[in-house]
Structure 1
């Protein structure tokens, strides 16, 4: 036998079956056929008996199936309790019976469902092949004379059967097999041909089709149910066939008398090879060893992987082979049974490991379909084997295949020791692709790239599409440490780490202008964070652009910038921001100076020149005070920022105070350090405008303090005016002995502040020089005091007599005018007193008459309804009469409806006078405030206050 292309292994455990004494005889010479099914073994004998044997090889049941003839063929229908037996004696037609093993007839034994005599053109030829379809609707019988008979019918219910010879030839039939699918195909094997015939479905009724003009011997055809192919054993090879023709073949030179499919194996029984005339031993009269010994070989082939799983020389010839209970059994002619059980996969792998056949082990594992993690263990072992042999590249390929369940440190340590940096990079990259890389792995990989200075590899690694395969922070940190700032910025931008991008641009790349542009493209919250973090740095290097950003953000008009793509990109320099902008996960992405938002102090902010730009995003505008510290070293930019913010409407009061106060301070501070008088005046004018007008948000104390610190006197004066501190302004002039300034203040504020005239009178009388400077203003002040009743004449004399400055002649006219006015008022008051006395006497007389004299009522009409009075009538002393029915009530407390409102008013006045009788403090206060003391006294007497 030529077995040079097949590797042989011992993958099968062979053990003899110990037959029970009572069952040993059934496997003797009387045994004529065997079939398996339903976890049982069925034995047919030459005298027509059927024995049913269990897995323990005990006969559990026996019955006579045929009265005459030997049972040459049997078939147990899968998934049912049906058994088909065929018996023949060459004197009569063969008889086929169908048995129901799960039912018994009255006399005992299974019930025969149907019996059919199989027709053959020439009866003297025996049956050589037998096959059934799965549902037992058709049975094919092949004869040694070359004919094939198809029997169709309902064999289970015995409703009749039809037979037809479907094939005839001069060669004997050596095998029949059926294959079911869309159509049912019958494979016919003769000694010289392989044919197919459709017996059910589309194509039924067509003649047989020849697959190949080479046949096979009896017993050399079988069906491989798992593969769905027909196996044919010939002396040179094992061939496969399907409905369309021959498939792959497997060279195995040896005579073959039997073929069977067992799991993944093909079981072959090979008799001794006949001697050849060309055998070199022939000329010496000696044959080959197989011929001399005359042994038969039993072999199990794995045709897919090209190895022999088991091979042995049979001591006794094979009689039957059968498969059941997941094992293969071989029955020899001397009645012995041998069990062939496949070793476990792990046992087979260990055998292959011992012989370093790792590729075959891998193929075997893949064919078996074991878990991928178990396959990876084989790859790892194979990699270790190759590594020990020094084949580092191939070993790495195996380690990569086993990467899912291999400890990375084991492989990394090996390649670090051998300085195989390229293999190490390959393994580390694969770790990242599988998502198994740790921070240390990323660090090591980036270090390898840096060591090789392989920028292209680094770029391809960090720019790989799909999900992130490494620790982002570690990769960015390593790129920054290695000086690969653009790569670090790319990673941070792509994965939304905008804060880190700004850090890289400012701290590493020192690209401040690009950092500002990048910040202007972020969401408001992220923009604010970075702006506050790097405000001083950016203002130091890009003051204008940074100030614009501050203005846009703090006025609520910030939005990410938009730009148009340059028309000629090849002629314009690119920047990091231009490269990164395409990765920004924002609505607005691009760069260009032409689209920078222009901020004007007198116009609303605009952050885009595109008229169709979307509205700014909503965000919480921060308190302006948070930005003040950022402008410490940039006063001019700070002033520009403040000027923009103070123009915004709807400012909160707190923010408004901060803005105006700070801007006022900045104006004064700038003016203080200006040497040129004109420039200083300009800044002071700006400061003055801030505190002019009404509702200035700057507090008085702050303005006064800042004005004093900056020696800005106009500010102090202006604030005192706005706050109504006119007395302070006037007194500031008088304390400075500035008479002209005091006079100007008196003329300006006197009408609104009469108290100034009193202070002016005291000031004029303080010294002769001041009195001389005042001139005629003393008379004007006295006139104002007299007209406004600010001081009584006595108080004026007292004020002027404190200093011997003003003579009596200067106030003569003032005194004479007051004396004349007082005399007129005394005369008028006396007339009023006389009038009040006369009126009081008249009222008293009326009261006395009402109390002592009768009253005659002559009224004829009711004062309420206007009708003529009739009884009952009610008369009041006020001379008003009413129908009793026109009054709401009539009792002792009844009042005249006409006079009741007036009486109520008088009583209320009287009650008030009584209640205020003890209010002497109020009287004194009114007396002090009024210039006409007698009028106050008469008024209080009229109220009745002074009667007590």
Structure 2
């Protein structure tokens, strides 16, 4: 394969490395470093100079330098965490093998574990060692010399004492071939080790068995290589050697076979160009080649260096660029690094898999994209998407057959309907079958796709494939699709097969469908049902009973009566079969009588509902007498089925049944609505008269509303009687009555005259009583004003000699009140908890007992006038006003309070406390030696609210009127209560 046969892509980016501490400056840590040898270990790379210096560069571009040899450094190799080096410390031929531990630093230099003198080990000549290789297990090491000699040692490299003396000579000296430029060790099963030896002219392989015997030496067809133009992968045992024309690949396991003449393979990469360096990293090979420069800017620029990165598995060029002539390349981890002669460090950053695949897809190179995705660790996520685009590409080119093979790979990602839509026509039905078969094998198909596949088989006349597919499904565990199979067989008129399939998988309904509706074998259908369990008998008879009743009447009835007799104690619901007998009175009578005797409990109750429905359905077909209604319908209605019976009566418009149920359930409002709908005014009035006191007001309002809309002049006599009932009940305000009746244009004033006159007379009496009450209140107000004036302007003599709190003789300083109470100052301050200047005894007495009395009268008044007394009591209970615990706390407080005798208790303990009542307190306090008044405070309520006046007569306020004005929704009239004024 020539180099030009490989496709080229730009899968890497060459980026200049910048200093980590100063990102604006280029990295210059390796400037003026002449790299003569190097090796990579984990996240670091070791760069060796010929003068003996070693640079360590980490993956984060951290630097570390030490002087490994005083004179020269020939080779570096890393194994495990250790570094092995070959070099000399003096001018004599005295090569030293040093084993370093880079993790252990002493005096700015890695610790040297061992130092072995290698020159004395090569007795044949005094040539220095120039190359080294160590196996990663640290159990074998090989060293090459400039005269071509190769020594091998097997054992513990780090601890064996014999490492300094006992070595096995693998290869003798060969002055004509030159120095050893490369060594590699491959450990194989069976205690065999393959050692590759590279010289400038040839490549050799030697097999060492047991560490003692050298067998099977081979000279390979590669022309040799320099120290930088080969690479070895220990994990695979593969050696790659770069010559001028091509790259040679050798596998260690092939070198064991003595008879194998041709070993390895070769690729013509960089053909005709001098190889400068070969570096491997994973599946990529980076190759530096020397080319003639077409553009010469300087005299020394006759040649240029070309860097190419090859993907060996994918067989493509992933990167290509020109570099300065003098440069070195090495790896740190999985990154390629390029060091120019001027110290400029560059890195090759591989593009992510998504970017690479996008490049390939845009160029329609789907085969390469698939190969890259398969070889990539994360490429599996993109593989199905590539196949989908590849399939679209082939489909648009007209290659439908190959396109369907690509679509097969998208199962699980691409929506099957997308592919199926493209292959639905007759010309592509073969490819559609291929795709659906794969979809079914992957268990990604659904019922719809199974139907399409079976119909496609049938349409192509592939009966054999169709039946094979049916057998494949029936023999498997995916029985949920048997209905699809059954429908296809039925569609293509495979009736015996469809019936057999349905019977096999207990698809009784489908089997009976074929037998009764398609084959018309009704006797066979009855026999089929008779062999089923009782529950299935009821279910199947309910579905196919009408057809069987028409064509196999006697057989069906006989079978059903036998089943009912045999299963009379079971919980099977035979009444579900009632529907099949509708329209056949004779058969239904026999069935109903038989079932009614055998059913019990809930089943019987449900069956009664069916009978009620059946009789109400035929309610209007004849005239029913009262006895028939009672015996045939009313006696079947019980408390548990009232709602269901009412719904049936409303559905079939059975008026007597509806009225009977509503009266039975005390649903006066619903019955009122029903009568209104019927327009039966007599029934409405009769309902109002017979209703309870609790619901009467609402019913009167409904009746008046109906009269206001629908009554005529002929109904005035009934309206007069209705108004008498309303007047006697006192449930509705007359203005509301007039408002509702005024909407009717057919009624005259005579219908409401007597009602209005009677109401006006009552109102006149109430007005006279209110006027008398006002006079009495005015008289009381005058007496109260006189008392207030006397207290305000006349002197008051304080003759109290004992403290009203402690009942001891008064001593100065004291506090006197106009209410004839006096206190010591300290007693007043002790019992005046709220900080006011009012008399404690009077404040408690008036604020508690008076409020309690007022609240009590208020509660009694509300209870007497309330239309719903229980609702009022529930409201008080909700507020906790009858809580026994509160009363207990009040009693305990009164025992501890010395003012309990004078009525001094908490103002919030009254259970009937009225927030609307305001009390009046008049206090005067005097604190002096001669009892002179020092302060006076007066607080009164608004004069325009007599009901708030504590001196107002309670009798006048509690007088009960014959009618409650609070029930008037239109408000109290200001001038006259006559609605006709």
What TM-score does the superposition give when structure 2 sets the normalisation length? 0.50
Asked if the contact 1:554/1:621 (under 8 Å) is kept, the reply is: no
**In the alignment, is the contact (CA less than 8 A) between 1:435 and 1:469 conserved in 2?**
no
How far is the alpha carbon of 1:293 from its aligned partner? Answer: 5.4
Q: How does 1:118-267 map to 2 (within 5 A)?
A: 118=118, 119-151=121-153, 156=158, 159=161, 161=163, 162-169=165-172, 170=174, 171-172=177-178, 173-180=180-187, 182=189, 183=191, 185-190=193-198, 191-198=201-208, 203-210=210-217, 213-215=220-222, 216-219=224-227, 220-225=229-234, 227-234=236-243, 235-245=245-255, 246-247=263-264, 249-252=266-269, 253-254=271-272, 256-267=275-286
Q: Which whole-Å CA distance do the structure 1 matches of 2:541 and 2:208 have between them? A: 84
The answer as to 2:400 corresponding to 1:400 is: no
CA–CA separation in structure 2 for the residues paired with 1:481 and 1:344: 54
Q: For 1:500, which of 510, 531, 536 is the aligned residue? A: 510
Cα distance change, pair 382–38 in 1 and its aligned pair in 2 (3 A): closer
Q: In structure 1, the residue corresponding to 2:4 is in which secondary structure?
A: coil
Distance (Å, rounded) in 2 between the aligned partners of 1:293 and 1:521: 102
Tell me: CA distance 1:413–1:187, structure 2 relative to 1, closer, same or farther (3 Å): same
Give the 5 Å matches for 1:410-559: 410-416=418-424, 420-438=428-446, 440-442=448-450, 444-445=452-453, 448=456, 451-452=459-460, 454-465=462-473, 466-468=476-478, 472-473=482-483, 476-477=486-487, 480=490, 483-486=493-496, 488-489=498-499, 492-493=502-503, 495-512=505-522, 515=525, 519=529, 525-526=535-536, 529-530=539-540, 533-534=543-544
User: In the TM superposition, what are the counterparts of 1:831-910 in structure 2 within 5 Å?
Assistant: none
SS at match of 1:66: coil
Report what 1:113 is aligned to: 113
Q: Do the aligned partners of 2:142 and 2:150 also contact (CA within 8 Å) in 1?
A: yes
Please state if 1:269 is matched with 2:288.
Answer: yes
Partner of 1:910: none
SS of the equivalent of 1:207 reads strand
The aligned runs of 1:477-876 (5 Å cut-off) are 477=487, 480=490, 483-486=493-496, 488-489=498-499, 492-493=502-503, 495-512=505-522, 515=525, 519=529, 525-526=535-536, 529-530=539-540, 533-534=543-544
- Matching of residue 100 in structure 1 with residue 108 in structure 2: no
- The answer to whether the 8 A contact 1:432-1:470 is kept is no
- 1:365 and 2:367 correspond: no
Tell me how far 1:49 sits from its aligned partner: 2.6
Q: 1:93 to 1:85 in 2, by over 3 A?
A: same
Alignment check: 8 A CA contact 1:196 1:243 kept: no
CA drift of 1:350 comes to: 1.8
CA distance in 1, matches of 2:381, 2:54: 49
Alignment partner of 1:150: what SS?
A: strand
In the TM superposition, residue 217 of structure 1 has moved relative to its aligned partner by 1.8
Distance 1:513 1:138, change over 3 A: same
Question: What is residue 66 of structure 2 aligned with on the other side?
Answer: 63
Q: Distance in 2 between matches of 1:120 and 1:619?
A: 109
Task: Check whether the contact 1:380–1:402 (CA below 8 A) recurs between aligned residues.
Answer: yes
Q: Using a 3 Å threshold, how does the CA distance of structure 1 residues 25 and 550 change in structure 2: closer, same or farther? A: closer
Uncovered stretches (5+) of structure 2, i.e. residues with no partner: 256-262, 294-299, 605-981
Q: Which residue of 2 aligns with 1:49?
A: 53
Q: What is the SS of the residue equivalent to 2:423?
A: helix
User: Which structure is richer in relative contact order (CA contacts within 8 A, separation 6 or more)?
Assistant: 2
Task: Compute the displacement of 1:516 (Å).
Answer: 5.7
Pair 440,240 (structure 1): closer, same or farther in 2 beyond 3 Å: same
Match of 1:74 in 2: 76
User: Is the contact made by 2:447 and 2:481 (CA closer than 8 Å) also made in structure 1?
Assistant: yes
Which whole-Å deviations, capped at 9, do the CAs of 1:469-524 have from their partners, x for residues lacking one?
A: 98554554465455454564455445442332222222223344655665566556
**Cα-to-partner distance string for 1:412-454 (whole Å, 9 max, x where unaligned):** 3333479633334443444444444455545555554565555
Deviation of the 1:527 alpha carbon:
5.0
SS across alignment from 1:405? coil
Residue 547 (structure 1) shift: 9.1
The alpha-carbon distance between structure 1 residues 187 and 96, as it changes in their structure 2 partners (threshold 3 A), is same
Tell me the secondary structure at the aligned position of residue 3 of structure 2. coil
| Partner in structure 2 of residue 667 of structure 1 | none
Q: Which residue of 1 aligns with 2:685?
A: none
Counterparts of 1:326 and 1:385, CA distance in 2: 35
Secondary structure of 2:214's counterpart equals coil
1:765-811 C-alpha deviation (Å, 9 max, x unpaired): xxxxxxxxxxxxxxxxxxxxxxxxxxxxxxxxxxxxxxxxxxxxxxx
Matched, 1:8 2:15: no
Relative to structure 1, the CA distance from residue 321 to residue 197 in structure 2 (aligned partners, 3 Å threshold; closer, same or farther) is farther
What residue is the counterpart of 2:811 in the other structure? none
Select 2:316's aligned residue among 298, 303, 307: 307
| Secondary structure of residue in 1 paired with 2:2 | coil
**Residue 122 and residue 333 in structure 1: after superposition, are their counterparts in 2 closer, same or farther (change >3 A)?**
farther
Measured at CA, do residues 406 and 373 of structure 1 come closer, stay the same or move farther in structure 2, by a change above 3 Å? farther
Structure 2 residue matching 1:349: 3-state secondary structure: helix
The higher radius of gyration belongs to: 1
SS in 1 for 2:144: strand
Residue 180 of structure 1 deviates from its aligned partner by 4.0
What is aligned with 2:306?
A: 297
CA distance in 2, matches of 1:409, 1:440: 10
Return closer, same or farther for 1:66/1:551 CA change in 2, 3 Å cut-off: same
C-alpha distance in 1, partners of 2:142/2:477? 62
Do structure 1's residue 388 and structure 2's residue 410 form an aligned pair? no
Choose which of 37, 40, 45 in structure 2 pairs with 1:36. 40
C-alpha distance in structure 2 between counterparts of 1:480 and 1:62, whole Å: 87
Shift of 1:195: 1.4
Deviation at 1:225, TM superposition (A): 4.6
How big is each residue's C-alpha offset from its partner over 1:377-432, in whole Å with a ceiling of 9 and x where there is no partner?
00111111112111122222212211211123333333347963333444344444
Could you say what the CA RMSD is over the residues aligned between the two structures, in angstroms?
4.7
User: Contact 1:153–1:159 (CA<8 Å) still a contact in 2?
Assistant: no
Report the Cα offset of residue 358 of structure 1.
Answer: 0.7
Instruction: Quickly say closer, same or farther: Cα 1:314–1:418, change in 2 above 3 A.
Output: farther
Partner of 2:784: none
Structure 1 residue 316 and structure 2 residue 325: aligned? yes
Secondary structure at the aligned position of 1:134 is classed as: coil
Seen in structure 2, the aligned counterparts of structure 1 residues 126 and 510 have a Cα distance that, compared at 3 Å, is farther
Q: What secondary structure does 1:406 align onto? A: coil
Q: Which runs of 5+ in 1 are unaligned?
A: 275-290, 558-617, 646-650, 659-948
Cα 1:168/1:490, change in 2 over 3 Å: same
CA offset at residue 117 of structure 1? Answer: 0.9
Label 1:546 to 1:153 Cα distance change in 2 as closer, same or farther (>3 A): same
Aligned length: 563
Q: Distance in 2 between matches of 1:205 and 1:397?
A: 57
Contact 1:75 1:84 in 2 (8 A): yes
Check the 8 A contact 1:150/1:165 in 2, yes or no.
yes
Alpha-carbon distance in 2 for matches of 1:311, 1:133: 33
C-alpha separation in 1, matches of 2:414 and 2:579: 56
